Amino acid sequence: MIQPTTSPQHPAQRTDRLVARITSTLAGLLVLVLLIWAGRIGWSMLHYESTDDAQVEEYINPINSKVSGYIRQIHYQENQAVKAGDTLVVLDDRDFELPVAEAEAALANAQAQLLNLARTVQTSQRSSQVSQSQIGAAKARLVQQEQDFARYHQLLADEAVTRQQFERVQSALDVARSDYQALAGGYQTALSRVNESQGQRAVLQAEIRRRQALLRKARLDLSYTIVTAPYAGVMGRQTIQEGQLMQAGQPLAYIVNRQAGKWITANFKETQLPRLHVGQPVRIITDAYPDQVFAGRIESLSPATGARFSLLPPDNATGNFIKVIQRLPIRIHLTDQPAKIAQLAAGMNATVTVAK
């Protein structure tokens, strides 16, 4: 019996079948991966709200110069950790020492004037006391002369004394009356000088308080030439040099406040807000540390969209209107240990996920 013969397959046909088989397998795997990915995305969208528009935040504040002057010394380096009260910059203080010396001299002068016035008041009071004693003696002499005058007047009527004797007594009475009036006037003048000195004393006391305030102001301006760290933190980039002229209010440095802590600002779409509330736990993944998961909770929701807090808020009442989904900033408090949170730096991007 004759067996039928089979022709051998061409190598090109075998290669095409192998490529087709591999392509089909890869296509199937790709479809499977796409289905798994779509399933995960769908599951995530059904059970979670997420945004990748989030950043790590931290208080970064400028340290401004309160007075103008040339920089004498710089005591910090970039990225240096500092404590509250550490000296950062020293300005030239020669222009501020002179006002302090002038204010001290003016205060000493006003105090010396007050001391001299006190001595003048004391002298006037003693003079008034002496005048008061002399008034008492003059009053006694005046009473005696009035009695003598009355007696001699009666004697003259009885022709017991001569008119010359009577006139001598009358003249003595006039002299006693004049002396008494003069001493009384001198006493009133002394009292007026005492009252006037008391008024000058109030003026000098007010002047001393004014001079003291000017001295405190001069010393305060002098103290501003030494710029210190307001709190513990880390210094930012150094942009100043020794010998540079700084104006009042000009930033000398930037400091990152480590005492206030860090937080996440996540900008969620307005359509996601109904499923978000304060106290809700969140899951955070940063681009810098994609293998680490940070925990947090929603601390507060912004009362307005981020666009409303911009320098130029949008005005939809003019021109053509294109509806754009707005985003609201949400502040998220980090609840991990401080050592883990210390890895984060302000400005890092993050992805925030919240369970519905």
Check pLDDT > 60 for residue 3: no
Spatial contact of 306 and 329, defined as CB atoms under 8 Å apart: yes
Top-confidence residue, 119 or 266: 266
The confidence score (pLDDT) of residue 210 equals: 93
Go through 329-355 and write b for each residue having 16 or more CB atoms within 10 A of its CB, e for each that does not: bbbbbbebeeeebeebeeebebbbbbe
CATH architecture of the domain with range 94-223: Orthogonal Bundle (1.10)
The confidence score (pLDDT) of residue 136 equals: 73
* Mean pLDDT of the region 148-171: 76
User: Which residue blocks in 94-162 are alpha helix, DSSP H?
Assistant: 94-157
Check pLDDT > 80 for residue 271: yes
Q: What CATH class is the domain 48-60+257-355?
A: mainly beta
The CATH fold assigned to 61-93+226-255 is OB fold (Dihydrolipoamide Acetyltransferase, E2P) (2.40.50)
* Mean pLDDT of the region 252-261: 89
Top-confidence residue, 7 or 281: 281
The confidence score (pLDDT) of residue 219 equals: 95
Top-confidence residue, 132 or 257: 257
Domain boundaries, the chain: 48-60+257-355, 61-93+226-255, 94-223
Give the pLDDT band of residue 202 (cuts 50, 70, 90): confident
The confidence score (pLDDT) of residue 62 equals: 93
Cα gap 337→317, rounded to integer Å: 48
Domain 94-223 in the same topology as domain 48-60+257-355: no
Give the pLDDT band of residue 2 (cuts 50, 70, 90): very low
Give whichever of 7-21, 95-109, 123-137, 303-317 has the largest mean pLDDT.
95-109
Q: Which stretch of DSSP H or E encloses residue 13?
A: helix 11-47
The confidence score (pLDDT) of residue 17 equals: 76
